[in-house]
Structure 1
Amino acid sequence: AVTTMANIALALSLPLALAGAPPGPEKAFNDAGYIPVALGTKQLFYWFFESRGDPATDPFIIWMSGGPGCSSQLAMFAENGPYKVSKFADNGTSSADKYNLDLNEFSWNERATVLWIDQPAGAGFSYGLPDFNEDMVANDMWDFLMGFFEKYPKYQKLDFHLFGESYAGHYVPATAARIVELTTLGLGTVNLKSIGIGNGLTAPGVQFPFYLPYAQSRGIVDGPRAAIMAAVLPLCEALTAGCELLKPSDLTNATIKWTACLNAYVFCSFGELIPVQASGINMYDVTKKCEKPPLCYDFSEITSYLNEPDVQKALGVSKTWSDCNRLVDLEFIYGGDWMLSYADDVALLLDAGVRVLVYVGENDFICNWMGNDAWTRTLLWPGSIAFNLAENKTWLTSDGEEAGSYRSAQGLTFLKVKGAGHLVPHDQPKAALDMVGKHISKYFDKNA
Structure 2
Amino acid sequence: MFRSLNLLSVIVLLLFYLSICVGAFNLLRRQLVSIPRAPPPLDDNPGESLFLTSYLEIGQIDLARNLSQVHLQPAYSYPSYSVYLTVNKTCGPDASSLFGLFSEHGPIRVDKDEQLYSSNITWNSKYHLLFIDQPVDTGFSFTADDRCYVHTEDEVARDLYVMLIQFFQIYYEYAMCDFYATGESYGGEYVPAIVYKIHRENPQAKLKINLKGMAIGDGLVDPYNQGDYGPAMYQMGLIDQRQLEYINLLTSLAREAIWEGQYRQAYSIFGDLFDNIYSNMTGMIDAENYLRTDFPEELFYYIPWVMASEHRRQIHVGNMTYNDGEKVQIALQDDAMQSIASKVALIANSNYKVLIYSGLLDVIIFSSVTMNWVDKLEWNYANQLRAAERVIWKVKEDDQEVAGYLKRANSFFLAWIRNAGHSIPCDQPRAVFDLIDRFISAS
TM-score bucket of the superposed structures, by smaller chain? 0.7 to 0.9
Could you tell me which residue of structure 1 aligns to residue 269 of structure 2? 267
User: CA separation of 1:375/1:180 partners in 2, compared to 1, >3 Å: closer, same or farther?
Assistant: same
Q: CA deviation at 1:160?
A: 0.3
Q: Does 1:437 align with 2:437?
A: yes
**Residue of structure 2 aligned with 1:116, choices 118, 126, 131:** 131
Could you tell me which residue of structure 2 aligns to residue 182 of structure 1? 201
Counterpart of 2:188, as a letter, is G
Could you tell me which residue of structure 2 aligns to residue 75 of structure 1? 100
Could you tell me which residue of structure 2 aligns to residue 331 of structure 1? 331
Q: CA deviation at 1:283?
A: 0.6
Superposition TM-score, scaled by structure 2 size: 0.80
Instruction: Name the CA distance, whole Å, in 1 between partners of 2:134 and 2:151.
Output: 12
Could you tell me which residue of structure 1 aligns to residue 219 of structure 2? 200
Counterpart of 1:261, as a letter, is Y
Instruction: Name the CA distance, whole Å, in 1 between partners of 2:193 and 2:178.
Output: 19
Which residues of 2 match residues 417-436 of structure 1 at below 5 A?
A: 417-436=417-436
Could you tell me which residue of structure 2 aligns to residue 361 of structure 1? 359
Instruction: Name the CA distance, whole Å, in 1 between partners of 2:110 and 2:172.
Output: 31
User: CA separation of 1:321/1:356 partners in 2, compared to 1, >3 Å: closer, same or farther?
Assistant: farther
**Contact 1:44/1:118, CA 8 A, preserved across alignment:** yes
**Contact 1:239/1:261, CA 8 A, preserved across alignment:** yes
Could you tell me which residue of structure 2 aligns to residue 43 of structure 1? 93
User: CA separation of 1:174/1:368 partners in 2, compared to 1, >3 Å: closer, same or farther?
Assistant: same
Instruction: Name the CA distance, whole Å, in 2 between partners of 1:343 and 1:135.
Output: 14
Q: CA deviation at 1:261?
A: 1.1
Q: Does 1:20 align with 2:69?
A: yes
Which residues of 2 match residues 43-442 of structure 1 at below 5 A?
A: 43-46=93-96, 72-88=97-113, 99-128=114-143, 129-186=148-205, 188-209=207-228, 211-243=229-261, 260-270=262-272, 274-278=276-280, 279-281=282-284, 282-291=286-295, 297-319=297-319, 322=322, 324-333=324-333, 336-398=334-396, 400-401=398-399, 402-442=402-442
Deviations 1:372-391 (A, max 9, x none): 11211110111110011111
Counterpart of 1:379, as a letter, is L
Instruction: Name the CA distance, whole Å, in 2 between partners of 1:280 and 1:198.
Output: 26
What's the Cα RMSD here? Answer: 2.0
Instruction: Name the CA distance, whole Å, in 2 between partners of 1:139 and 1:21.
Output: 27
Instruction: Name the CA distance, whole Å, in 2 between partners of 1:187 and 1:263.
Output: 43
Unaligned ranges ≥5, structure 2 = 1-47, 53-66
Q: CA deviation at 1:218?
A: 1.1
Q: CA deviation at 1:298?
A: 4.9
**Contact 2:180/2:211, CA 8 A, preserved across alignment:** yes
Between 271-280 and 428-437, report the one with greater CA deviation.
271-280
User: CA separation of 1:175/1:289 partners in 2, compared to 1, >3 Å: closer, same or farther?
Assistant: same
Counterpart of 2:177, as a letter, is L
Q: CA deviation at 1:267?
A: 2.8
Partner SS, residue 304 of structure 1: helix
Structure 1 vs Structure 2: percent identity of aligned residues? Answer: 25
Instruction: Name the CA distance, whole Å, in 2 between partners of 1:272 and 1:34.
Output: 34
Counterpart of 2:91, as a letter, is T
Q: CA deviation at 1:224?
A: 3.5
Counterpart of 1:357, as a letter, is L
Q: CA deviation at 1:399?
A: 5.4
Between 192-201 and 277-286, report the one with greater CA deviation.
277-286
Q: Identify which of structures 1 and 2 has the higher relative contact order when contacts are C-alpha pairs closer than 8 Å and 6+ apart.
A: 2
**Contact 1:233/1:272, CA 8 A, preserved across alignment:** no
Instruction: Name the CA distance, whole Å, in 2 between partners of 1:124 and 1:208.
Output: 28
User: CA separation of 1:272/1:240 partners in 2, compared to 1, >3 Å: closer, same or farther?
Assistant: farther
Superposition TM-score, scaled by structure 1 size: 0.79
